[in-house]
């Protein structure tokens, strides 16, 4: 598959695909004599995994670790479940901290609004 076909099949831009390739998240494409990249159709699965994981807030390093544990393929269900639980816990901590800050800000607003 050429990069345009991969882009169409994955819903990602060609620059995003090249970015993932440069950063070792997907295997390097084979270059033909004409210089065009040629990808195996199997590249769509990890690309979809990478895109979804990034959308959920996983870093490229976290994604890279997950992919290398499975030789470039998406991680197994147990690994995904564990990573999702860890991400959810981190998100809950972030929300808790944001809510504490919000309460402090509201208290300061009320304090300064009630000053003569």
* Whether residues 19 and 58 fall in one domain: yes
Give residue 64's pLDDT.
87
* Whether residues 71 and 87 fall in one domain: no
Give residue 35's pLDDT.
85
Domain span including residue 106: 79-116
Q: What angle do CA 88, 97, 82 make, to 5 degrees?
A: 15
* Whether residues 71 and 89 fall in one domain: no
* Whether residues 3 and 50 fall in one domain: yes
Q: 97 pLDDT band (50/70/90 cuts)?
A: very high
Is the pLDDT at 75 greater than 90? The verdict is no
Is the pLDDT at 71 greater than 80? The verdict is no
pLDDT in tens, 18-70: 999 999 899 888 988 888 889 999 999 999 999 999 999 999 999 988 887 76
Q: What is the DSSP string of 24-88?
A: TSSPPPEE-TT--EE--GGGHHHHHHHHHHHHTT--HHHHHHHHHTTTTSPPPHHHHHHHHHHHH
* Whether residues 71 and 92 fall in one domain: no
* Whether residues 63 and 99 fall in one domain: no
């Amino acid at each position: 598959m050429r990069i345009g076909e991969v882009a169409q099949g994955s819903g990602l831009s060609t620059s995003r695909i090249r970015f993932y390739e440069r950063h070792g998240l997907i295997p390097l494409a084979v270059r033909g004599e004409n210089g065009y990249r040629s990808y195996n159709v199997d590249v769509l699965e990890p690309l979809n995994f990478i895109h979804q994981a990034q959308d959920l807030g996983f870093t490229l390093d976290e994604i890279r670790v997950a992919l290398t544990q499975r030789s470039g393929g998406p991680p197994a269900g147990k690994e995904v479940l564990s990573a999702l639980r860890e991400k959810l816990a981190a998100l809950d901590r972030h929300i808790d901290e944001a809510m504490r800050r919000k309460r402090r800000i509201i208290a300061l607003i009320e304090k300064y609004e009630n000053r003569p």
